[in-house]
Amino acid sequence: MSGVEVISLGCRLNIAESERMRAMLASESNLVVVNSCAVTSEAVRQTRQAIRKARRTRPDARLLVTGCAAEIERDQLAAMPEVDGLVANRAKLDPRVWNVPPAIQKAPESRHTRAFIAVQNGCDHACTFCVIPQGRGPGRSLPVADVLREVELHLDRGAREVILTGVDLTSWGHDLPGAPKLGALVQAILDKFAQLSRLRLSSLDGIEIDPLLVDLLASEPRVMPHLHLSLQHGHDLILKRMKRRHLRRDAVELVALLKSHRPELAVGADLIAGFPTETGEHHLANLSIIRDLDIVHGHVFPYSPRPGTPAARMPQVDRGMIGQRAAQLRAAVAETRQSWLAGLLGTDLQVLAERDGTGHAENFARVRLPAATPAGEVVTLRPTHIDQGLLA
């Protein structure tokens, strides 16, 4: 390989930005870019591992690192002998930084049938465990016209599903004239592109979901029945110590409302195991929220102290205990997921075929496809069994 290679780690926002970098740097030769993550200490470890692997694979390439770890772990990454340079996270989509000419406006090459579109970046909140504002800066929203232009470009390239993403997606619009809400953006996309049949939202802060967005999630068939909440914990005291703005009942009431209108809605959530001061009682509340919300898509993060965060100065939970609690949370999610998948057997699912022989149903269930199913096709499948966590 002699062209540009972009290695993406971490969140869906990084995936969207990596696609844009691939398009912007398409004319470059012998270049590797690691788009890093620093959300946890494990993410930083994986970033270092990816850098070393990239250098072994491409010993003669120019290797540059960007992303959140390039901001938060700048000195440590710059000292790695494998790294030729760092690119500031907030500058990584600027052609001038890379010394390439501004590209004619176009979408990235169609590597995926699902297009991730970054409509928001940065965060203005101060959750006590989080370093992402250090890596991403304050919240910024992409104007509606720019979002519509990018959606159109992806659809022209053959994308069948659009996923809106951001660091704090539900804050979209707060810095734009008139302070529009995310629901207005979703409605504008649906109104503009009648041919778009699948619009999905990445992680949402439930307390910020506006009434129009609630209505769209509850009743609009082109908005996928899949809600992923930035939940973090199931106990109110821990949520307060995290400086989250919601309580347990807020999440329970939101999910109950949406499922009363759309019973097929699948719920996902981010959960942290072993946050400082977490007791056994707090952990049990974390376990029970999985059952109460019927969380079937769970991202469980063992807590790790991040530099410069208030939580790093709080009384810490034993690392072994954190590992045990994380394993219990994952097992609880796996149990609810298995039951959910079993309930989908024998039902007709609309599945978007991807390039790896699998696809996603509207509720984000992963489905193994019949051989030779063309990527980009939406096919109706009736699964009969579960194979290694996939419907088949």
H or E element: which one contains 295? strand 295-302
Backbone angles phi, psi at 300, to 5 degrees: -100, 125
Do 216 and 356 share a domain, yes or no?
Answer: no
Residue 105 pLDDT: 43
pLDDT in tens, 5-46: 999 998 888 888 888 888 888 888 899 999 999 888 889 999
Q: Which residues constitute the domain of residue 365? A: 349-391
Q: Within a 10 A sphere around the Cβ of 272, how many other Cβ atoms?
A: 25
Q: What is the mean pLDDT of residues 322-336?
A: 98
Q: Within a 10 A sphere around the Cβ of 251, how many other Cβ atoms?
A: 23
Do 210 and 280 share a domain, yes or no?
Answer: yes
Q: What is the mean pLDDT of residues 357-361?
A: 95
Q: What is the mean pLDDT of residues 230-249?
A: 98
Per the CB < 8 A criterion, the answer to whether 187 and 146 are in contact is no
Residue 2 pLDDT: 65
Q: What is the mean pLDDT of residues 75-86?
A: 92
Smallest CA-to-CA distance from 132 within 309, 291, 289 is with 309
Residue 104 pLDDT: 43
CA 244 to chain centre: 19
Question: Of 305, 320, 343, which residue sits at a domain end?
Answer: 343
Do 184 and 286 share a domain, yes or no?
Answer: yes
- Edge-to-edge strands, sheet with 31-36: 4-8, 31-36, 62-67, 85-86
pLDDT in tens, 177-228: 999 999 999 999 999 999 999 999 999 999 999 999 999 999 999 999 999 9
* Residue 70's CATH number: 3.40.50.12160
pLDDT in tens, 264-313: 999 999 999 999 999 999 999 999 999 999 999 999 999 999 989 999 99
Tell me the one-letter amino acid at 251: A
Comparing 102-111, 153-162, 253-262, 279-288, the range with the smallest average pLDDT is 102-111
Residue 223 lies in a domain: yes
Do 336 and 362 share a domain, yes or no?
Answer: no
Per the CB < 8 A criterion, the answer to whether 269 and 293 are in contact is yes
Residue 109 pLDDT: 52
Q: What is the length of the chain? A: 392
pLDDT, mean over the chain:
93
Do 82 and 227 share a domain, yes or no?
Answer: no
Task: Tell me the CA end-to-end span of the chain in Å, nearest whole number.
Answer: 35
Please, which residues have CB within 8 angstroms of residue 8's CB and are 6 or more apart in sequence?
14, 15, 17, 18, 35
Tell me the one-letter amino acid at 231: L
CA neighbours within 13 Å on the CB side: how many for 182?
29
Tell me the one-letter amino acid at 288: S
Q: What is the mean pLDDT of residues 133-140?
A: 89
Do 134 and 242 share a domain, yes or no?
Answer: yes
Domain count across the chain? 3
